[in-house]
Copies of this chain bind each other. A is one copy, B any other.
Amino acid sequence: MSTRQSHRATILDVARAAEVSRQTVSNVVNSPHKVAPDTLVRVQAEIDRLGFRPSRAARTLKQERAGAWGLEIDARGAGRLGSVLDAFLVELTLTSSRNDTHILPFAAPDYREPIAAYEEVLASRLADGFILTDTRHDDPRPQWLRDRGIPFAAFGRVWDDPTETAWVDVDGAAGVETAVSHLVDEGYQRVAFLGWPTGSPVGDDRRAGWARAVDRLGVGDEAWQGVAVQELDAATLAARPLVDIVGPGGAIVCASDALAAGVWRAVHERGLRPGLDVGIVGFDDTDAARVLGLTTLRQPLTEITERVLAILLNAQTPPAAGTVLHPELVRRSSSSRTVIPPAR
């Protein structure tokens, strides 16, 4: 077995070895100016020799810092296809570990009262601030946090207060415009849109990009749109009339990969082939897109997580306003009218 000590050295071990009180050891760690120089040297030598590490609890009392950032997880995900936010949590965890900080995910037991969950995390002193996702209109969280001086950064625009808050978002409208242009370049002649019910700022933004692009390129009509929630059967149902409208040689752009998976199903049901007959573009490059071969818009999650953490870890820098990044078009067979050879 290893020669390591079988338990971590405590403050008491150091105090005994240096023949001083626990309080003196504590002073050496937290208030060295209070300690006589020769004692300081002797105690520090024992701290080094024994490998004593002051506990986070002790340091937190002094520094009032937890060393972690709260991230609310949506508890209503059951039955829905995974969203980009699951991938965001994993990416944040990886980036945090490289930057000597941590992420504390939590869920609001009652989604209608999100503030209560934030209060609980703060009261527990497990987080120094928050990373907001699922930002929306009439979102009570940003103002509540600002009123209390609690640091936060958002993945997604702080829609009600975009200039005085710190956030990182992706230009969904521009991304969808890129997708429509790509489909027209590939030879599709009609482009419909499947989105979320109106009122979601992210969904409305993506819909606006489609409306602008089809108007500019003359390949769509305002009536060629449908809505569904983020669930496969609902998306399939909403996709059927759109498939009938655009028909072979047409295409459908979607606000998410889950919606695009519904289009993929509806296309198959009609005996048509994704790509070859009807073009499909999703959003987020989730597993659904990868296994179905869906062209999609990928959000640069690594850059987003790095920027969000930089805002929180460098709070002394100017309270950054928003940063808008561009999504990347990932081309796969669902937007190609010719057969793409399979992987070798």
Contact = CB atoms under 8 A, between A and B. Distances in A.
Interface stretch (A105-113, A153-161, A201-209, A215-223): A105-113
A265 interface: yes
The CB with the most chain B CB atoms within 10 A, among A60, A126, A287, is that of A287
B236 A342 contact: yes
Contacts of A56: 60, 66, 123-126
Interface in A56-88: 56-58, 60-61, 64, 66-68, 73, 75, 77, 81-82, 86-87
Given A58-B61, A261-B291, A292-B291, A107 B117 contact: no
B98 A102 contact: no
Interface in A261-295: 261, 264-265, 269, 286-288, 290-292
Contacts of A124: 56, 67, 102
Contacts of A77: 90
A123 B53 contact: yes
A123 B67 CA distance: 12
The CB with the most chain B CB atoms within 10 A, among A237, A269, A291, is that of A291
Q: Chain A: interface residue count, which band?
A: 35 or more
B122 A93 contact: no
Nearest to A117: B97
Given A232-B291, A288-B290, 10 more contacts: A1-B147, A53-B123, A56-B125, A57-B60, A68-B104, A73-B90, A81-B291, A98-B107, A103-B104, A265-B342
Query: Lowest 6 CB-CB distances: which A-B pairs, in order?
Result: A56-B125, A57-B60, A97-B107, A233-B343, A261-B291, A93-B105
Interface of A: 1, 6-8, 53, 55-58, 60-61, 64, 66-68, 73, 75, 77, 81-82, 86-87, 89-90, 93-94, 96-98, 102-109, 117, 122-126, 147-149, 232-233, 236-237, 261, 264-265, 269, 286-288, 290-292, 342-344
